[in-house]
């Protein structure tokens, strides 16, 4: 019993001065890296430039990150967790039986996060960085957080009849990665493949709209962009199988 208590106390102990300093330095490195991405896009990221901004030697950064790929991976993980937090909080703020509201909250929460963090959106959803390959054993768990929110929200709407699979326009059957299916099962998601297809199709609309909006490709439209978004959101939800009669008019 005492050994268990000691182990628990050790795990809950306050970080040491050295650990706090190390974490503060990592946070500072990430801060300057994000500033670089905001100014020049993810491809502009440079350890040498980060070191210059921090007034330290480039070699000092290797105490914290093995190289630029490790720094990019850490930023990707942070971005995935941030969007997971955003959509999770947005959905959980509404009653469980408000299926229309909860999916709208998911989509709007995703958009609000992207508009507030355009460089992070570009990092994980924009043009792939030349030579960089995200290590799935590190990034996949973080990326699955927002997708898990989307899948569970759609699954609940289907179970409640708010989404009618017969009414859905997204009818293809996806060939799902068995490992991915196993990971979903671990968190209680036992999905009909069409639910995965509906979620994927909806995510295409969300990310497609945001890619165009954030990268300035809607400049030719004179419409209010929020009105355009609402139109895409309504069309997306009709395609998913929601009843058009209960959706907000645009």
**pLDDT by residue (tens digit) across 235-244?**
999 999 999 9
Which pair of tokens denotes residue 17?
A: 């001065």
**pLDDT by residue (tens digit) across 113-133?**
999 999 999 999 988 888 888
**pLDDT by residue (tens digit) across 186-243?**
777 777 888 989 999 999 999 999 999 999 888 888 789 999 999 999 999 999 999 9
The second-level CATH assignment, the architecture, of 1-65 is: Orthogonal Bundle (1.10)
**pLDDT by residue (tens digit) across 73-116?**
999 999 999 999 999 999 999 999 999 999 999 999 999 999 99
Any idea where the domains of the chain sit in the sequence? 1-65, 69-246
Percent of the chain residues topping a pLDDT of 70: 95
Q: What gap in Å lies between CA 149 and CA 151, rounded to an integer?
A: 6
User: What does the chain come to in residues?
Assistant: 250
Q: What gap in Å lies between CA 28 and CA 120, rounded to an integer?
A: 16
- How does the average pLDDT of the chain come out, rounded? 89
Nearest-5° angle of CA 29, CA 31, CA 32? 70
Compute CA distances 125 → 95, 97, 120, 143, whole Å.
Answer: 30, 31, 8, 11
SS3 readout for the chain: CHHHHHHHHHHHCCCCHHHHHHHHHHHHHHHHHHHHHHHHCHHHCCHHHHHHHHCCCHHHHCCCCCCHHHHHHHHHHHHHHHHHHHHHHHHHCCCCCCHHHHHHHHHHHHHHHHHHCHHHHHHHHCCCCCCCCCCHHHHHHHHHHHHHHHHHHHHHHHHHCCECCCCCCCCCCCCCCHHHHHHHHHCCCCCCHHHHHHHHHHHHHHHHHHHHHHCCCCCCCCCCHHHHHHHHHHHHHHHHCECHHHCCCC
| Domains 1-65 and 69-246 belong to one CATH topology | no
Beta bridge partners of 163: 242
Fold for the domain defined by 69-246? Tetracycline Repressor; domain 2 (1.10.357)
pLDDT at 94: 98
């Amino acid at each position: 019993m005492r050994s268990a208590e000691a182990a628990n106390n050790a795990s809950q102990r306050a970080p040491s001065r050295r650990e706090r300093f190390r974490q503060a330095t990592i946070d500072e490195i990430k801060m300057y890296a994000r500033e670089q991405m905001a100014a020049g896009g993810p491809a502009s990221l440079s350890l040498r430039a980060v070191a210059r901004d921090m007034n330290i030697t480039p070699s000092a950064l290797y105490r914290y990150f093995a190289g630029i790929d490790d720094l990019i991976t850490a930023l990707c993980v942070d971005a995935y967790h941030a969007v997971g937090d955003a959509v999770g909080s947005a959905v959980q703020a509404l009653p469980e039986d408000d299926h229309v509201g909860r999916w709208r909250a998911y989509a709007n929460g995703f958009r609000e996060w992207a508009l507030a963090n355009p460089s992070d959106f570009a990092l994980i959803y924009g043009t792939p960085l030349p030579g960089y390959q995200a290590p799935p054993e590190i990034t996949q768990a973080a990326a699955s957080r927002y997708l898990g929110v989307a899948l569970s929200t759609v699954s609940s709407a289907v179970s409640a009849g708010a989404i009618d699979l017969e009414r859905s326009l997204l009818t293809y059957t996806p060939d799902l990665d068995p490992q991915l299916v196993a990971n979903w099962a671990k968190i209680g998601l036992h999905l009909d493949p069409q639910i995965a297809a509906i979620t994927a199709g909806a995510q295409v609309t969300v990310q497609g709209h945001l890619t165009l909006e954030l990268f300035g490709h809607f400049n030719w439209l004179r419409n209010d962009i929020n009105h355009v978004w609402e139109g895409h959101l309504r069309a997306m939800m009709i395609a998913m199988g929601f009843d058009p009669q209960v959706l907000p008019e645009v």
